[in-house]
């Protein structure tokens, strides 16, 4: 069972702000919009706003809706549901007007860090009956809107078939793994910012993670006694050396498994695990699922 711990909202906002400034995120964001024609948002936890408002690819129908307080409230309620239901795995939900929004969780181990979102699409051709039903809701809320413009915008909504939609979610899921790895680095860097020795140790671990690595080796590399290094490292990172090394290796395995041709056993040994039984136990504890389940979730059953 995957646990659903969340980072504190303030820390989530700080990590998301750093991720958005990274070149990898900016490049992906631009490529995603250009390739799919859809909006994309990276949102911190408990950011109950309209995720795609002002996006260059915002759906014109949704843009018109955002001008009304009541329809805004309906969209915000949908965002709350999306956040609650997408904490463990990608989720797609439908709004009162029949448009779909999808969220993919960005997780570091057992911690939920943020959400990658896209949407404002339909999974079937828009129907007159659905539009009529949506307008009834608008009338009941007393919403004032140009119905002709609204209808035109509604029937211009981007329609995505199931296969395309699955591919889009797969793209976001794979990118979420990259962001997960980057988030892990950012969180550890923040924790070690005031300790040059621990920062140096972190670099040493990253460079030698694929080898057999002991606490005494790392302590020696940063000119500290094993006892003192152990205390300093735990205080700075909130993890023991063993826990930290395991987390680094698991993140490495996750990145290696983004390659659909990489075998789980190859990835485990490449990341520095000495036995498959140890690897399976550690991966499950940190990632909350087995390596094979993780791989299938990323690539689908054909690559497991």
Q: Is residue 185 part of a domain?
A: no
CATH number at residue 208: 1.10.10.60
Q: State whether the Cα torsion 46-51-54-60 is positive or negative.
A: negative
Task: Indicate whether 183 belongs to any domain.
Answer: no
Shared domain check, 292 and 146:
no
Lowest mean pLDDT among 71-80, 133-142, 196-205, 234-243: 71-80
Residue 27 has pLDDT above 60, yes or no: yes
Claim to verify: residue 126 and residue 229 sit in the same structural domain: no
**Domain ranges, residue 73:** 5-176
Question: pLDDT-derived band of residue 3, with 50, 70 and 90 as boundaries?
Answer: very low
CA 103 – CA 282 distance, rounded (Å): 27
* Residues 26 and 167 placed together within one structural domain of the fold: yes
Backbone angles phi, psi at 87, to 5 degrees: -70, -30
Q: What is the mean pLDDT of residues 198-225?
A: 91
Q: Are 121 and 92 in contact (CB under 8 A)?
A: no
Q: Note the pLDDT of residue 113.
A: 87
Domain identity same for 224 and 281: yes
Whether 186 is covered by a domain: the verdict is no
pLDDT the model gives residue 191: 58
On whether both 148 and 219 belong to a single domain, the answer is no
- What's CA 201's distance to the chain center, in Å? 28
> Contact, 80 vs 288, CB < 8 A?
no
Tokens of 114: 């943020």
* Tens digits of residue pLDDT in 241-288: 999 999 999 988 988 888 888 899 999 999 999 999 999 999 998 888
Shared-domain flag, residues 51 and 138: yes
φ and ψ at residue 56, rounded to 5 degrees: -55, -25
Question: Looking at residue 302, what is its pLDDT?
Answer: 58
Distances (CA, A) of 14 to 183, 187, 236: 10, 10, 18
For a pLDDT cut of 70, what percent of the chain falls above it?
Answer: 92
Residues 260, 289 within the same domain: yes
39: helix, strand or coil: coil
**Same structural domain for residues 162 and 237?**
no
> Does 69 map to a domain?
yes
pLDDT tens digits, residue range 85-112?
Answer: 888 889 999 988 899 999 999 988 778 8
Q: What is the pLDDT of residue 165?
A: 95
What is the chain's mean pLDDT, rounded? 86
Question: Which of 176, 204, 236 is the C-terminal boundary of a domain?
Answer: 176
CB atoms within 10 A of CB 159: 12
Section 76-88 average pLDDT: 83
- pLDDT at residue 166, rounded to an integer: 94
The pLDDT tens digits of the residues spanning 219-249 come to: 999 999 999 999 988 888 778 999 999 999 9
Per-residue confidence (pLDDT) for residue 11, from 0 to 100: 79
Residue 204 in contact with residue 213, Cβ under 8 Å?
A: no
Number of domains in the chain: 2
Q: Does position 16 have pLDDT exceeding 50, yes or no?
A: yes
Note whether residue 111 is domain-resident: yes
Predicted local confidence at residue 304, as pLDDT? 47
């Amino acid at each position: 069972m995957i646990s659903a711990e969340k980072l504190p909202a303030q820390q989530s906002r700080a990590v998301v702000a750093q991720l958005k400034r990274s070149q990898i995120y900016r490049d992906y964001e631009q490529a995603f919009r250009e390739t799919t024609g859809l909006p994309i948002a990276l949102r911190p936890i408990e950011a109950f706003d309209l995720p795609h408002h002002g996006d260059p690819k915002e759906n014109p129908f949704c843009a018109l809706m955002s001008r009304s307080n009541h329809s805004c409230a309906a969209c915000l309620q949908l965002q709350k549901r999306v956040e609650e239901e997408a904490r463990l795995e990608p989720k797609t939900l439908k709004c009162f007007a029949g448009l779909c929004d999808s969220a993919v969780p960005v997780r570091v181990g057992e911690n939920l860090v943020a959400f990658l979102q896209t949407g404002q699409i339909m999974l079937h051709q828009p129907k007159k009956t659905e539009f009529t039903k949506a307008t009834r809701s608008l009338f009941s809320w007393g919403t004032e809107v140009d119905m002709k413009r609204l209808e035109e915008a509604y029937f211009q909504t981007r329609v995505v078939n199931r296969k395309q939609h699955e591919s889009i979610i797969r793209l976001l899921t794979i990118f979420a793994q990259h962001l997960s790895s980057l988030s892990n680095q950012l969180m550890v860097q923040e924790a070690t910012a005031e300790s040059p020795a621990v920062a140096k140790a972190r670099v040493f671990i990253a460079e030698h993670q694929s080898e057999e690595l002991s606490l005494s080796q790392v302590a020696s590399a940063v000119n500290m006694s094993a006892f003192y290094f152990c205390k300093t490292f735990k205080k700075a990172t909130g993890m023991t050396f063993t826990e930290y090394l395991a987390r680094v290796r698991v993140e490495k395995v996750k990145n290696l498994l983004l390659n659909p041709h990489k075998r789980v056993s190859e990835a485990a040994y490449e990341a520095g695990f000495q036995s498959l039984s140890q690897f399976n136990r550690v991966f499950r504890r940190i990632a909350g699922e087995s390596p094979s389940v993780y791989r299938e979730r990323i690539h689908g059953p054909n690559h497991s």
